[in-house]
Chains A and B, each alone.
Chain A
Amino acid sequence: DTAVSQTPKYLVTQMGNDKSIKCEQNLGHDTMYWYKQDSKKFLKIMFSYNNKELIINETVPNRFSPKSPDKAHLNLHINSLELGDSAVYFCASSLQADTQYFGPGTRLTVL
């Protein structure tokens, strides 16, 4: 009965690699988000999708490419990983940008 799920939970990779994080929600929400939480715990929005359409793109390098195959999924692909990409990435979903429910997070470590 998991509401918002992400895979993988942990991701350790070398600089320059390409990686993907997947997110799924079974709440019937129409809006999904990606957040980055850095070591100082600041939660910064990266993207939001409403009904599979990109709504928000917050000055994120174009190495980050979100993809929403349907309303229940929002994946994040990252090309040419850099040290500064190390963080916890949270997926979230909501109905009409109302209360947001977060996934468990993916801790990305770039070596």
Chain B
Amino acid sequence: NAGVMQNPRHLVRRRGQEARLRCSPMKGHSHVYWYRQLPEEGLKFMVYLQKENIIDESGMPKERFSAEFPKEGPSILRIQQVVRGDSAAYFCASSPIQNSNTGELFFGEGSRLTVL
């Protein structure tokens, strides 16, 4: 049973380009979360999605960032017109349907974005 799959693992973009990060949740999981981590820091919540729905996007920057989780295919975190401050590790996590209050989040290995 494969875990949470993220790709690419490493992505280099120049300022102004677009970055697309993909996440395939664990089999049977319908909840996806995106977190951002800067070096030597904890994870900052960005967005929580279920299939075809954004449930909580309170951590998403108002501009340039968007996320989707279509009925078919992986969840995608899109960053338009990247700036150097977007350089970070972006982690995706998934949980099963009807995850309890104490449920575990299963994390992928992250996508490391470097903006030149």
A binds B: no
Which residues of chain B have a CB within 8 Å of any CB of chain A?
none
Which residues of chain A have a CB within 8 Å of any CB of chain B?
none
